[in-house]
Chain A
Amino acid sequence: MTQSPLLKVRDLTTSFFTSRGEVQAVRGVDFDIHAGEVLGIVGESGSGKSITCMSVLRLLKNNGRTIKGTAHFEGRDLLELSELEMRRLRGNDVAMIFQDPMTSLNPTLTVGEQIIETIIAHKNISRSAARERVVELFELVKIPEAASRLGAYPHEFSGGMRQRVMIAMALSCDPKLLIADEPTTALDVTIQRQILLLLKEIQSRLGMAIILITHDLGVIAEVTDRILVMYGGTAMETANVHHLFDKPMHPYTQGLLASVPNVNNIDGEKLKPIPGSPPDMLRPPKGCPFMPRCDKAMEICVTTGAPEFEIDDAQSHKSRCWLHHPDAPQQKGDAA
C-alpha cells in the first residue's frame, strides 16, 4: 500500500457548542483509507465515530464545528472546499448510508422515483436512462423482480429490502468511497449478515472503499480489512482485522473484546465488564481518555495523552498507549 490514500484524515477536531459548554466530540483523529479497502470504525456510543465521518462530509448540525485538522480526499482538503464543490462531491464521489432505512427514505415517493431523482441531480442523463440505471442497481443489490419494484413505496418493503434500496441509492453514482453508519443495527441478525455480505460482494466487484461504522464488534470481523477503535473522541488502536482480534494491544480494546459474550466460550463464568463509565466530553480527562477506567494506568497517563506507537508495520498495527513506550514496565502476557 504505497500509493497515496484515498482519504487521509489528520488531527481532525470537532466540537459542539451547547448551552452547557463545549462538547469535545472528536479530539485529533488521524486515519487513512486506501482505494478498495474496507475500514471498520468501532466504538461505543459517544466515542465520536459517527461525528468523525460527519465532519469529513461536512454534515454537522449548526452547533457543531470542525475546529482544526485536514481531510484530504484524492489530494483535495474537503474541509477547505466551497459548499457548492462539496455538494457535487457528496453522493458522487462519496456516498453515505445510515442506520435506519425507514427514516432515511421519503415515505411519500416511490423508491424508483427517489433514486432517479438522485441520479438526475448528479449526472447529465435522461430520465429513461436513469430509470434503466435504477433497474441495474436493484439487480446489483439483489432486490427480486427489480423492474416491477420501482413503483413501490418504502413501506411496502421489509427492513432488509429497504436497506438494499438505500445501498442502491448510495451506489447510483459509482462512489469511490461509501460511508455506512451502523447499516445493520436496526435489522434482525440473519438479515444483518445478508446485508453485510452484500456490501462486501459489491465492494469487491466495484472496487470502492468502504468505511463501516459500528458498535458491534461481531458484525465487522467478516467484512472489514482493517479496524480503527475509537474511545473518547480519539483513535485508540488500529490494525488489520484478524490481527486486532488476536493481539489487541490497547487496554481499551482488550477490555472491549473481553466484555463480549460468545456462544463458544461461555461456561457459566462471569463476563468481564470495563469498570466505570465513558468520559464526559464536556470535561474530558486531560491525559488519556481511558485512564480513569484503565487498570494499567500510570502516572503519565493522567497528564499526557499517549502518542501513536507503531506496533507491527506489516499488520498496520498502531496503538495509542504509554505501555508501548520502551521505558514502560513490561506487561504480563504481552507477546509483542
Chain B
Amino acid sequence: MTAIDLKDLTISYSSVPVVHGANFSVADGESFALVGESGSGKSTILKAISGLNDEWTGEIKLFGEKIDPKNRTDISRITQMVFQDPYGSLHPRKTVDTILNEPLAIHGIKDDGTRVLEMLSAVGLDKRYRFRYPHQMSGGQRQRVAIARALMIKPKLLLLDEPTSALDVSVQAEILNLLKKLRKEQNLTFLLVTHDLPVASFLCDRLAVMKGGEIVEIASREQMTKGELKAEYSNELLGVHAQKLGA
C-alpha cells in the first residue's frame, strides 16, 4: 500500500504559486526525504499534507484515502508532525505530562497514564522527566518530548520538518539514531524535510531534490552515495557536502 500519493499538487499563497505540480508516492513503511534550499517548497508540501495549509489543488492520498482539505479530523490521527525548533514547539507553562496527554484529549482517547510512560521510555527519557517543564530540559531532551507527543496517538505517518537542524551535532546524532530506532519498532512511514543531505541519507531510503517549487529529481539513497544523481542541481548540492570534511 502507498502511504502518500501526490498527484499534480500545486500550492499557492494567495495568487503566488510556490509548488508547481509535485508528483511522488511513498510506500507504507518507507522513509522519504524532501531536500532543497530555503524557499524551494519542501516545507510547504509538508504543511499541505499535515493540514496546516488547505490552499492547494491536485490530489493528496494518504493510505489510499483522498484528502478533503476542508475536513480532515480523521486523517490527523494517522499523521503527526515534528517541528524544527524544540524550544518553540512545546508549551512553556505545561509539564511534559500535560503536553503528552493533549493529543489523547483532542482525539478523545481514554488513558490512565500508561501511554505517557510507554512513550517516555520509547524516546529514552527517564520517568522523572514526566512532571518537568520544557525550560528544565536541554534541546535534545525537548526534541525527544516533541517526538513522544507525535507518537502518543499511534500515527502511521510521521512528518519531520528539519527535526535536528536546531541541535548541536553530538545531540543531532542521538535524535537521528532515536528516529531510526522508532521507525523500525513502530513500523512508521517518514516524510523528512531537510537541507542536509547526510541527514537524509542516514534516515531515508529515497529522496526528492527540490528547487524553486519543483521536484528536479527523485533518487534512491544508493544512487546518492554512489554519486549517480542525474540532475545538475542535485550534484551541486551533493558537491557541497562531498567537499565538506575533505571527504
Interface residue ranges, A against B (CB under 8 Å): 44-45, 188-193, 215-219, 221-222, 242, 245, 255-256, 259-266, 270-274, 277
- The yes or no answer to B244 lying at the interface (CB within 8 A) is yes
The answer to whether B169 touches A245, judged by C-beta atoms less than 8 angstroms apart, is no
- The yes or no answer to B176 lying at the interface (CB within 8 A) is yes
Q: Which residue of A lies closest to B39 (CB)?
A: A188
Give the dominant DSSP class at B's interface: helix
The answer to whether B225 touches A222, judged by C-beta atoms less than 8 angstroms apart, is no
Q: Bound complex: CA of A245 vs CA of B244, how far in Å?
A: 11
Q: Bound complex: CA of A318 vs CA of B247, how far in Å?
A: 24
The answer to whether A262 touches B171, judged by C-beta atoms less than 8 angstroms apart, is no
The smallest beta-carbon distance between B210 and chain A, in angstroms, is 12
The answer to whether B201 touches A188, judged by C-beta atoms less than 8 angstroms apart, is no
Q: Bound complex: CA of A191 vs CA of B236, how far in Å?
A: 11
- The yes or no answer to B241 lying at the interface (CB within 8 A) is yes
Using Cβ atoms and an 8 Å threshold, which residues of chain B touch A45?
168
Q: Which residue of A lies closest to B178 (CB)?
A: A273
- The yes or no answer to B195 lying at the interface (CB within 8 A) is yes
Q: Which residue of B lies closest to A276 (CB)?
A: B170
Q: Which residue of A lies closest to B35 (CB)?
A: A189
Q: A215-B168, A221-B245, A263-B224 are in contact. List 7 more A-B contacts (CB 8 A).
A: A189-B195, A265-B247, A266-B198, A273-B170, A274-B173, A277-B140, A277-B171
Using Cβ atoms and an 8 Å threshold, which residues of chain B touch A271?
173, 176-177, 202
The answer to whether A259 touches B244, judged by C-beta atoms less than 8 angstroms apart, is no
Given the contacts A188-B38, A266-B201, A277-B140, A272 and B173 also touching, CB distance less than 8 Å: yes
The smallest beta-carbon distance between A336 and chain B, in angstroms, is 21
The answer to whether A263 touches B170, judged by C-beta atoms less than 8 angstroms apart, is no
The smallest beta-carbon distance between B213 and chain A, in angstroms, is 15
Q: Bound complex: CA of A56 vs CA of B243, how far in Å?
A: 32
The answer to whether B245 touches A270, judged by C-beta atoms less than 8 angstroms apart, is no
- The yes or no answer to B238 lying at the interface (CB within 8 A) is yes
Using Cβ atoms and an 8 Å threshold, which residues of chain B touch A221?
243-246
Using Cβ atoms and an 8 Å threshold, which residues of chain A touch B138?
277
The answer to whether A262 touches B170, judged by C-beta atoms less than 8 angstroms apart, is no
Using Cβ atoms and an 8 Å threshold, which residues of chain A touch B240?
189-190, 192-193
Q: What mask results when residues 155 to 196 of chain B are scored 1 for a CB within 8 Å of chain A, else 0?
A: 000000000000011111110110010000000000000011
Leading 5 A-B pairs by shortest Cβ distance: A218-B244, A273-B173, A259-B173, A261-B198, A188-B37
Q: Bound complex: CA of A190 vs CA of B199, how far in Å?
A: 16
Give the dominant DSSP class at A's interface: loop
Using Cβ atoms and an 8 Å threshold, which residues of chain B touch A218?
241, 244-245
Question: What are 16 sample pairs from A and B whose C-beta atoms fall under 8 A apart?
Answer: A44-B169, A189-B195, A189-B240, A190-B236, A190-B237, A193-B243, A215-B168, A260-B169, A262-B198, A262-B244, A262-B245, A263-B201, A266-B225, A271-B202, A273-B171, A273-B173
Q: Bound complex: CA of A42 vs CA of B98, how far in Å?
A: 38
Interface residue ranges, B against A (CB under 8 Å): 37-38, 138, 140, 168-174, 176-177, 180, 195-199, 201-202, 224-225, 236-238, 240-247
Q: In the complex, which of the residues A217, A256, A263 has the most CB atoms of chain B within 10 Å of its own CB atom?
A: A263
The answer to whether A256 touches B169, judged by C-beta atoms less than 8 angstroms apart, is yes
Q: In the complex, which of the residues A191, A193, A271 has the most CB atoms of chain B within 10 Å of its own CB atom?
A: A271
Q: Bound complex: CA of A305 vs CA of B238, how far in Å?
A: 41
The answer to whether B177 touches A273, judged by C-beta atoms less than 8 angstroms apart, is yes
The answer to whether A264 touches B170, judged by C-beta atoms less than 8 angstroms apart, is no
Q: Bound complex: CA of A265 vs CA of B198, how far in Å?
A: 9
Q: Bound complex: CA of A262 vs CA of B176, how far in Å?
A: 13
Q: In the complex, which of the residues B140, B170, B173, B240 has the most CB atoms of chain A within 10 Å of its own CB atom?
A: B170
Q: Which residue of A lies closest to B202 (CB)?
A: A261
Q: Bound complex: CA of A188 vs CA of B237, how far in Å?
A: 10
Contact of B169 among A191, A217, A264, A265 (CB under 8 A): A217
Q: Bound complex: CA of A6 vs CA of B237, how far in Å?
A: 37
The smallest beta-carbon distance between A46 and chain B, in angstroms, is 9
Using Cβ atoms and an 8 Å threshold, which residues of chain B touch A259?
169-170, 172-173
Q: Bound complex: CA of A260 vs CA of B198, how far in Å?
A: 9
Using Cβ atoms and an 8 Å threshold, which residues of chain B touch A277?
138, 140, 171
Using Cβ atoms and an 8 Å threshold, which residues of chain A touch B176?
261, 271
Using Cβ atoms and an 8 Å threshold, which residues of chain A touch B201?
261, 263, 266
Q: Bound complex: CA of A188 vs CA of B39, how far in Å?
A: 10
Using Cβ atoms and an 8 Å threshold, which residues of chain B touch A44?
168-170
Q: Which residue of A lies closest to B176 (CB)?
A: A271
The answer to whether B241 touches A189, judged by C-beta atoms less than 8 angstroms apart, is yes
Q: In the complex, which of the residues A45, A255, A266 has the most CB atoms of chain B within 10 Å of its own CB atom?
A: A266
Q: Which residue of B lies closest to A293 (CB)?
A: B170
The smallest beta-carbon distance between B122 and chain A, in angstroms, is 17
Given the contacts A188-B37, A190-B37, A245-B245, A263 and B169 also touching, CB distance less than 8 Å: no
Q: Bound complex: CA of A262 vs CA of B169, how far in Å?
A: 12
The answer to whether A262 touches B247, judged by C-beta atoms less than 8 angstroms apart, is yes
The answer to whether B242 touches A274, judged by C-beta atoms less than 8 angstroms apart, is no
Using Cβ atoms and an 8 Å threshold, which residues of chain B touch A261?
172-173, 176, 196, 198-199, 201-202
The answer to whether B195 touches A264, judged by C-beta atoms less than 8 angstroms apart, is no
Q: Bound complex: CA of A193 vs CA of B242, how far in Å?
A: 12
Using Cβ atoms and an 8 Å threshold, which residues of chain A touch B168?
44-45, 215
